[in-house]
Amino acid sequence: MERLKQAIRERGNVLSSEVLKVDTFLNHQVDVELMGAVGEEFARLFKDDGVTKVLTIESSGIAPSFMAATNLNTPLIFARKKKSLTMNENVYVSQVYSFTKRETNDITVSKDFITAEDTVLIIDDFLANGQAALGLIDIVNQAGAKVAGLGIVIEKSFQDGRKRLEEEGYRIESLARIHELEAGRVTFIDELVTNNN
């Protein structure tokens, strides 16, 4: 998705060979027009998959997921990292390790919101090692529901998340696939393909 890649190039901040900061448009300040386009693209990619729910983790996945759910005309559910006082024990729980925060969180979703009849589209802001995606998949599996696929805004293709998920048979649609973060510069996978032809 060229518009997203342009935002990453112009407004992203490469902090290291593994960390890309995108808080100017995705996970702190939200560019609602760009997220609208992201949501439309996810809806286009998964429109024929019978999606009944969109699932993400708070908080960075909420903006793109909200836009996708709006376009798919389905409810959006976000897994909570902190269990609120109003959530009883009737929840699905999975553990997720955050690479950027260096911590493990229990994520929870009420059993009222995902059932065995659901087909769930999982959306997240980043795919790196696949921990968040696997935690969300675990919740969908606990519910006996079906995973339609995973919509990823930005994929760090130099990490093993895609490989792990594809080996388990999951469909992944990433809108921007990064090959490398080096010397303050982002290189995308499709640029390599173009440059090698």
Domain at 6, CATH number: 3.40.50.2020
Residues 6+ apart with CB under 8 A from 162: 127, 130, 155, 172, 174
Instruction: Please tell me whether residue 164 adopts helix, strand or coil conformation.
Output: helix
Do the annotations mark residue 156 as ligand-binding? yes
Residue 26 has pLDDT above 70, yes or no: yes
Residue 114 has pLDDT above 80, yes or no: yes
| Cα-based distances in Å from 109 to 63, 88, 89 | 18, 11, 10
CB 49 within 8 A of CB 121: yes
Do the annotations mark residue 128 as ligand-binding? yes
Q: Which domain holds residue 181?
A: 2-196
pLDDT of residue 192: 80
Do the annotations mark residue 130 as ligand-binding? yes
CB 29 within 8 A of CB 35: no
Do the annotations mark residue 27 as ligand-binding? yes
Domain total in the chain? 1
Do the annotations mark residue 129 as ligand-binding? yes
Do the annotations mark residue 131 as ligand-binding? yes
Each residue's pLDDT tens digit, 60-108: 899 999 999 999 999 999 999 876 655 667 999 999 987 767 788 899 9
Q: Which tops the pLDDT comparison, 196 or 2?
A: 2
Q: Is the pTM of this model over 0.85?
A: yes
